[in-house]
Amino acid sequence: METSEASQVVEIAANYGFNVLGGIAILILGWFIANRISAFVRGRLSKSVNIDDTLTGFFSGLAKYVILAVAVIAGLNQFGIQTTSLIAVFGAAGLAIGLALQKTLSDFAAGVMLLIFRPIKVGNSVEVGGKTGKVVEISLFTTELATPDNVQIILPNSSVWESAITNYSHHETRRVEWVIGISYDDDIERAFETIEKVLTEDQRILSNPKTKIVVSELADSSVNIRTRAWVKADDMWSVKFDLSRRFKEAFDGAGLVIPFPQREIHMIQKG
């Protein structure tokens, strides 16, 4: 009787021992494979210029933990634990959490799209979601802007992705425009020469595309001259402000008048 019981104990220990060793081996192998896959994903994504570092870390971590989850489930099965009901519980919990966090998941999905397709980048001056400012940070859930007067604005990524995006920094060059009025008594050709002289003296004005100077309107009190010049995007506002002053000074020096609105009134006296 004692021999029979001992043999049963040895048999049970052998069976469960192999199961335990098999489960441990699965977990160790899963850990090894998960780390290797994670490093491979990180290495491949880091070489892509279209993938942000935030997404690189996220996808490499996601690959690692998905493989670890599969390894844990396989290990538990090897130990003899029934995981079907456990998976069902986790699935139901995941569905409930997904419904509760639907808006957050929408922001997350939009964040992934923004980081992959990059319609805007950190440092860009943009108008998005009805807000204007410079992009400070794009995370997986929110986008942070700084307004020209340095006010922080944080937008959910879903509102950024779903709205029209105006990116003022996308192109390297931008067009600057001035409308200057001269008197009807002034010489238009002299006004053109004065404007062109101011433009050629400023090295920030690009030669290509060419500058255009045209008479755009015969207004009530002035002949309006429209000037369009191209500059680097970073120089746009400084050129706009600087040359507005120089045009006024140059016109004063050339004897050209920038008229203010005026009306002629005829008084009619009765008997």
In CATH, what number is assigned to the domain containing residue 138? 2.30.30.60
- Comparing 106 with 102, the larger pLDDT belongs to 106
Residue 1: predicted pLDDT = 45
Q: How far apart are CA 236 and CA 118, in angstroms?
A: 23
pLDDT digits (tens, 9 = 90+) for 218-236: 988 899 999 999 999 989 9
Q: What are the Cα distances from residue 235, in Å, to 128, 179, 206, 242?
A: 22, 19, 11, 11
What pTM value is reported for the model? 0.65
pLDDT digits (tens, 9 = 90+) for 29-70: 878 887 888 788 777 777 776 666 666 766 777 777 778 777
Among 64-78, 128-142, 175-189, 242-256, the least confident range: 64-78
Q: Return the CATH number at 21.
A: 1.10.287.1260
For residue 191, the tally of other CB atoms under 10 A from its CB is 24
Domain-embedded: residue 218: yes
Mean pLDDT of 119-132: 90
Domain-embedded: residue 78: yes
Mean pLDDT of 160-169: 91
Check whether 175 has a pLDDT greater than 90: yes
Q: Would you say 141 and 113 are in contact if contact means Cβ atoms under 8 Å apart? A: no
Q: How confident is the model at residue 86 (pLDDT cuts 50, 70, 90)?
A: low
Residue 60: predicted pLDDT = 75
Residue 221: predicted pLDDT = 85
For residue 203, the tally of other CB atoms under 10 A from its CB is 6
Instruction: Note down the domain range covering 201.
Output: 173-253
Domain-embedded: residue 198: yes
Residue 18: predicted pLDDT = 63
Domain-embedded: residue 60: yes
Q: What are the Cα distances from residue 58, in Å, to 112, 127, 159, 177, 251?
A: 10, 28, 22, 45, 60
Question: Same domain, yes or no, for 182 and 128?
Answer: no
Domain-embedded: residue 126: yes
Question: Same domain, yes or no, for 179 and 242?
Answer: yes
Mean pLDDT of 237-251: 95
Tally the domains of the chain.
3
What's the chain's average pLDDT? Answer: 82
Q: Would you say 64 and 34 are in contact if contact means Cβ atoms under 8 Å apart? A: yes
Q: How far apart are CA 29 and CA 53, in angstroms?
A: 28
Q: Which amino acid is at 228?
A: R
Check whether 98 has a pLDDT greater than 70: no
- For the stretch 66-93, what's the b/e string if a residue is b when 16 or more beta carbons lie within 10 angstroms of its beta carbon? ebbeebbbbbbbbbeeeeeeeeeeeeee
Residue 200: predicted pLDDT = 93
Among 66-70, 92-96, 97-101, 256-260, the least confident range: 97-101
Q: Return the CATH number at 222.
A: 3.30.70.100
| % of the chain with per-residue pLDDT over 90 | 41
